[in-house]
Each structure stands twice: as structure tokens, then as C-alpha cells.
Amino acid sequence: MKYAFSGIVALVFIAFTFSNCKKDDGELKGTGDVVIEMDNHAGDDVLVFGQKYVTAAGDTVQFSTFNYFVSNFILVKDDGTEFRVAKDSCYFLCKHDDTESRELVLRNIPAGDYKSVKFTIGVDSLKSVSPIGERGGVLDPTGGASGMYWSWNSGYIFVKVEGTSPQAPVDAGTGERTLEYHTGLFGGKDSPTLNNLKQVTITSSSENARVRDGHTGEEAPMFHLYVDVLEMFTTPNTFKVSDVPTSHAGPFSKSVADNYADMFTLDHVHNHN
């Protein structure tokens, strides 16, 4: 009886160990999706086109356009291991008036627990100078990127903000008090320019995004980010609309880019499993 009992205990132990190994393997192998949701705000308020907001300098502004490119995503596991999303699969153009464009899906992510997401605001220099045939979808200057590309400069507008402000001077062409900030420049192709590409790192201090094999769509974990358009006007360079109502590719574009570098913050990580 003693030996029979020992044999039963051994079998139970083996079965328990095998069961746990299968469970661990199921968690650590395979791939799933990660969703990045961009939730546009103006300070503490949800952004609504046409609604009035106040900048850090005290100017009243109303927005009619808020578009931005994000790209080159990297996910960081809890142990510090980084995974770079396939380059051609992670260029996104987010438009405030297109809700679907602001729900980004990163596919084929190795299963694991991810605490951080890194990305670039803008379109990197390598992609910006690549043949047009290699720039489809949202990067097609005559298609998805229409209105977000400077043909004269062969470069993308990384962040586009337009609207009106009573503190802006009257535009001679439209008769309105308009504000317009089109910020791009990746360093230049044929001659040097400013480099307004900005790197962002978002880290969760609480819950990690749990990627599991086959979990896509509604089952995928989500990084829910707030994007504050009012950061365009402050930190580290607070300015008044009356002083700079328009900025494109000039020297002041660096100040605007330095400001919007911190417009992304983490609201929460949401897991569906």
C-alpha cells in the first residue's frame, strides 16, 4: 500500500506540473493585438470643434482641425524587453473628426505583459524620402495624406492645428481671425532643415497590457491615451496667438514641436481578459 500510495502521489504531481506548463506555454507563446486609443482633449475638457477654450497665455481659441501622424511603435515588456512593431504596419494619421482613425491597432504582438509604449510624432526621414510607390495608405501624398504633405518641401506635416481666435489678426484673404500651425520637417533631404520629429514614451505605473495568443479585436488590451491640443501653446514655450498666429516651416516651428512633444499622457490601460 505504501508503494501504491507513493505512485499515486507521483502521478498527481506530474499531472499538476504538466498542467501548469501547458498554461504557462499558452500565456507566453503566440501573438495578439494591442490597441492604442487616442482621446483628444483641450485641457480637462473633451475636444469639440467650435467650442471655446483658453490657452495658458489667456487667449481664447476655437479649433476646426486637429490632425497628427504617429509612427514607429515599440512595446516594452515588464522585464524591459522591447518589441518593435513591423515598420510598414505602424504609420497612422489621426484626425479628430474621424473617430476610427484614432483607434490604432498594432498586430502580431508577441504574448506577454507590456508596461510601456514608445512612438514617434511624425514620419521618420527614411520613410519621408523613400519612393512614392513605397508610401501607400495614410502616407500617400495624393491619397490618405492629402492635406498633410508639403509638395514644395517633399515632407509630411506632422501635426496640423487650425481654428480661430479673437486675439489673432484678421486674415486679409478670409476676413476671419484665424490661427494655423502646420508643423513638419524631418531634417531635410537635399539640404538641412530643422528636425521636428519627437519621441514619446508612455509608461503605466499600475496595470500592464496583457497580450495573449489569439486575442484580437475586442479581446485585445488597450492603452488609452489623452492628447491635449492646448499643449501646442505652452511648456516649454508659452506664446500668445497675437504674437504668432501662424507657423509653418519657419524657425518658430521648433517651439511648437517642443510644446506638442508632451501632449500625450496615459489615462489607463484596459484589459479584456
Report the share of the chain in percent with pLDDT over 70. Answer: 89
Banded pLDDT at 162 (limits 50, 70, 90): very high
Q: How many domains does the chain fold into?
A: 1
Considering the domain boundaries, does residue 15 fall inside one? no
Q: Is the pLDDT of residue 50 over 70?
A: yes
Domain contains 263: yes
User: Whole domain around residue 111: which residue ranges?
Assistant: 31-270
CA 193 to mean position of chain CA atoms: 24
Averaged confidence pLDDT in the chain: 90
Q: Is residue 53 part of a domain?
A: yes
Q: For residue 4, is it within any domain?
A: no
Mean pLDDT on 238-267:
97
pLDDT band per the 50, 70, 90 thresholds, residue 165:
very high
Tell me the mean pLDDT in the region 225-245. Answer: 98
Average pLDDT score over residue span 236-252: 97
CA angle 105, 156, 174 (to 5 degrees): 110
Average pLDDT over residues 246-250: 95
Q: Is residue 11 part of a domain?
A: no
Q: Is the pLDDT confidence value at 24 over 50?
A: no
* Domain-located, residue 13: no
Residue 200 has pLDDT above 80, yes or no: yes
